[in-house]
């Protein structure tokens, strides 16, 4: 049996995930700070869709070592987490979370 996931369904999944995630919690030198999602991009091709979420930290916010980044919902519940070891001294940082969705048939 061949399955074809229509673009409308991939768009629904992408939009639902995008709507659920409200901000990012970034840990710099052991301190948690909440940052907004600066940009959300949606890429859909064939049977695959990708949701990209960008978080920008200016030079002051990124000063130190970034050890963890979490995408959270409006209640602060972590939806996606990532450990990191990024050191930034005089520049800011742009963090990218990329969430791929691919449909296959077994």
pLDDT digit string, tens, across residues 55-66? 999 988 888 999
DSSP for 30-95? TEEEEEE--EEEEEEETTEEEEEEEEEE-HHHHBEEEEEEEEE-TT--EEEEEEEEEEESSS-EEE
pTM: 0.81
Average pLDDT for 85-93: 83
Instruction: Read off the pLDDT of residues 15-53 as tens digits, 9 standing for 90 and up.
Output: 888 889 999 999 999 999 999 999 888 887 766 778 899
User: What is the structure's pLDDT at 91?
Assistant: 83
Average pLDDT over the chain, rounded to whole? Answer: 86
Sheet holding 93-102: strands in order across?
Answer: 39-45, 48-57, 93-102
């Amino acid at each position: 049996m061949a399955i074809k996931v229509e673009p409308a369904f991939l768009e629904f999944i992408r939009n639902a995930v995008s709507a659920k995630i409200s901000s990012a919690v970034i840990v710099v030198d052991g301190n948690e700070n909440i940052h907004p999602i600066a940009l959300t991009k949606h890429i859909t091709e064939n049977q695959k869709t990708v949701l990209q979420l960008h978080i920008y930290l200016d030079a002051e916010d990124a000063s130190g070592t970034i050890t963890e980044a979490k995408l959270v919902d409006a209640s602060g519940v972590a939806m996606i987490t990532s450990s990191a070891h990024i050191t930034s001294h005089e520049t800011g940082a742009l963090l990218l979370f990329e969430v791929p969705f691919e449909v296959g048939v077994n």
